[in-house]
Amino acid sequence: AQQPGTPLSDQEYRQFFRSLRVARRASTACLLRALYGCQNPLVRRLDEYENHGVIPEGPICSELPGTPFFPDFCTFSFYRCTRKRYFIKV
């Protein structure tokens, strides 16, 4: 079992994003995030699932070259959505 608050493994990410692989589905999830924000229960559940049940607090480090730090997970998630880089990990 993974430590709560840690990101998913590569295999877990593939499983997590399997249903979102179709661009329309991924953009729908991003639209929910944009409309309702990170405090929306559905958006929070997705964020919690992506991070083994705990949404990380504080600065977030990512695999993005040139943009390695975000102030929080919400900002990181919005960045992925606006750039359409849905599968970037923290």
Q: What is the per-residue pLDDT across 28-58, written as a single tens digit (0 to 9) for each?
A: 889 999 999 999 999 999 889 888 899 998 8
Give the position of tokens 């990512």.
62
Does pLDDT of 71 surpass 90? yes
Does pLDDT of 11 surpass 80? yes
CA 68 from chain centre, in angstroms, equals 15
Share of the chain above pLDDT 90, in %: 27
Query: Where residue 63 falls among pLDDT bands split at 50, 70, 90?
Result: confident
Maximum Cα–Cα distance across the chain: 33
pTM of the model: 0.69
- Cβ neighbours of residue 68 closer than 8 Å, sequence gap 6 or more: 61, 62
Distance CA 30, CA 24 (A): 10
